[in-house]
Chain A
Amino acid sequence: MDPIKNKIQSTSKETRQDIIGKILSYSCIALIVIVVLSIFAFVASKGLATFIVNKASISDFLFGTNWNPIATDKAGNPLLGALPMITGSFGVTILAVIFAAPFAIGTALYMTEVASKKGEKLLQSVIELLVGIPSVVYGFIGLSVVVPFVRIHFGGSGYGILSGAFVLFVMVLPTVTSMTVDSLRAVPRYYKEASLALGATKWQTIYKVLLRSATSGILTAIIFGMARAFGEALAVQMVIGNAAIMPKGLLAPASTLTSVLTMGIGNTVMGTVGNNALWSLALMLLLMSLIFNIIVRFIGRKGRM
């Protein structure tokens, strides 16, 4: 055999490296997908049992307003109206993100465009610290600071969607901010340079160039923030009041999917209607974040065009 021919035809060291690399990264992603799928399957099998085994109707679940898994109505069906919790979850999440988005974008712009190196570092550590405060502590500060504040300045008992949104606002702020910073940094430098060279002011550059080209990144940051807000339980539970009734406004006690889920799961027996209904709430939570994801992805794609 010709050694040169042999060398050319056999796979090179580089190709082999590349194959190993591909295998490694593909298997990592496969592992994550398997984890996600198994959690999905797990939650779905438990959550769907309410409708399959316990014969609750899906439309009652989605639009009913009477949540009382222990009792049954006259026809013998369990009372599983989850609308109050769905409304509560949407309420706090959207409100929290509405509060948080301007702050997050402002802070991110300050870090990337305005601040000196020192100021940027300071804010970076501020954000990292905010993430590290456990939700229980947020809850207790909420209970002793936010609830009285809302009670005195807005009225009501202080427990309600508004208080929940205030607490969540602080909790999602770091997630949204740090991801917004990432997407602003990812905007190519020459975009900015070109804009400034055309004589645009800093603000015009930020507004017309930076924010526009980072839109999809910022939207993703916001979804992640919403996701965090949706899933948060311990802190919200302490300030929202936890009443499974349709919220009568931002100041009346309400409940979220997670708060009802967290509180009830330890007190119900596995396999019973009450327990299955809680898993349906968990499934609902998953589906809702999935829908949000799809919507925002759609918007993001349009924005980029």
Chain B
Amino acid sequence: MKKITKIATVIIAASAILVGCGKANSGSSSSSSSSASSKAVSGKITIVGSTALQPLVEKAAENFQTDNSKVSITVQGGGSGTGLSQVQAGAVTVGNSDIFAQQSDGIKASELEDNKVAVVGMAPVVNKNVGVTNLTMKQLRNIFTGKITNWKEVGGKDQSIVLINRAEGSGTRATFETNVMDGQTAAKSQEQDSNGTVQKMVSETPGAISYLAFSYITSDVQALSLDGVKPTDANVITNKWKIWSYEHMYTKGKPNAATKAFLDYMKSDKVQKSLVKELGYLSISKMKVQKDSDNKVTEIK
């Protein structure tokens, strides 16, 4: 018993020292980064938020750190809501989000600085056996509002439709609703949060319909064309395919030197031309159109 208490004391003491060290480190680094105008940046960056964006940022951070060994970057998930609220509270350096801060309740978007780092396309997907590969926008809307409940009404098999929506408040759902639902409320139905689970559910449940980011659309599920337009990267670039959104990295006010260097790196060709593509996103620099937070699309000249 005595031994155990001793060990416990040592550990508590050690951890206290560690916490102290961590604080000292971050303190000194922030002072150095603010004064540094030279190329070598240093500091600690904590990035939290969107689980969908996490793999991209994580990989980019890894590459960035090999060139800038003095910068330590931690990338975590937790969801867009967590990312936005924590960056607003100042608890983290960068908040990753699938949606515009303006669209999120309780966030003062004016305090945050937006960095769009990638574009993600989404498409409705159905179980392979429903016998439908194309829908009109109106049919799709009617399916999600619950007016159409059987696949035969849209030219498929006589099978009832199993609706799988995405989590309320998630970026994917917000994008889908603004571009498809046209102000109508979706029928109450099953909800799932993650792309991976939805993909598995749609592929295994007869009559299922949901929607997924392009990178999760595999041969296990059938992606639908809308009004004859196929969900491809080429169609997203020109806005012929309407269901797409940005991936954002928000900072509170102006970022410090290290953070800015990393965000610039995210937007540079090094990331945009290789990593972004490999992860199934679309490069931001390739887009021929842009969207604002009110979903207004304008051409880039």
Contacts and interface: CB of A to CB of B under 8 A. Distances in A.
Interface in A250-304: 253, 263-275
Interface centre among B1, B82, B206 (most CB of A within 10 A): B82
Interface stretch (B66-74, B184-192, B285-293): B184-192
B168 A269 contact: no
Contacts of A70: 105, 168-169
A222 interface: no
A263 B189 contact: no
Interface stretch (A40-48, A109-117, A238-246): A238-246
A237 B190 CA distance: 10
A85 B138 CA distance: 32
Interface in A142-157: 143-144, 147-148, 151, 157
A264 B162 CA distance: 21
B240 interface: no
B80 A266 contact: yes
Interface in A66-86: 68-71
A196 interface: no
A269 B190 CA distance: 22
A138 B107 CA distance: 37
Contact of B200 (A24, A143, A266): A143
A124 B189 CA distance: 41
Contact of B190 (A241, A265, A266): A241
B85 A69 contact: no
Interface residues of B, number: 36
Nearest to A240: B190
Interface centre among B185, B191, B192 (most CB of A within 10 A): B191
B7 interface: no
Given A157-B162, A242-B190, A263 B167 contact: yes
A71 B184 CA distance: 12
B295 interface: no
B179 interface: no
A261 B40 CA distance: 44
A157 B85 contact: no
A114 to B, nearest CB: 38
A70 B105 CA distance: 9
Contact of B193 (A263, A268, A275): A263
A238 B51 CA distance: 18
B81 A275 contact: yes
Interface residues of A, number: 35
B82 A266 contact: yes
Nearest to B160: A157
B204 A265 contact: no
B81 A267 contact: yes
A159 interface: yes
A107 B170 CA distance: 44
A158 interface: yes
Contact of A274 (B162, B169, B197): B169
Contacts of B79: 265-267
B104 interface: yes
B201 interface: yes
A272 B105 contact: yes
B167 A274 contact: no
A137 B5 CA distance: 37
Nearest to B173: A267
Contact of B191 (A24, A144, A263, A273): A263
A54 B178 CA distance: 26
B27 interface: no
Interface of B: 1, 5, 51, 77-82, 84-85, 88-89, 104-107, 162, 167-170, 185, 188-193, 197, 200-201, 204-207
Interface of A: 24, 68-71, 140, 143-144, 147-148, 151, 157-159, 237-238, 241-245, 253, 263-275
Given A24-B5, A238-B192, A265-B81, 19 more contacts: A24-B1, A70-B105, A143-B197, A144-B200, A148-B204, A159-B190, A237-B192, A242-B190, A242-B192, A244-B191, A264-B167, A267-B169, A268-B169, A269-B88, A270-B82, A271-B106, A274-B168, A275-B85, A275-B106
16 contacts: A24-B5, A69-B168, A143-B197, A144-B200, A237-B192, A242-B190, A244-B188, A265-B81, A266-B80, A266-B81, A267-B168, A267-B169, A268-B81, A269-B106, A270-B82, A275-B85
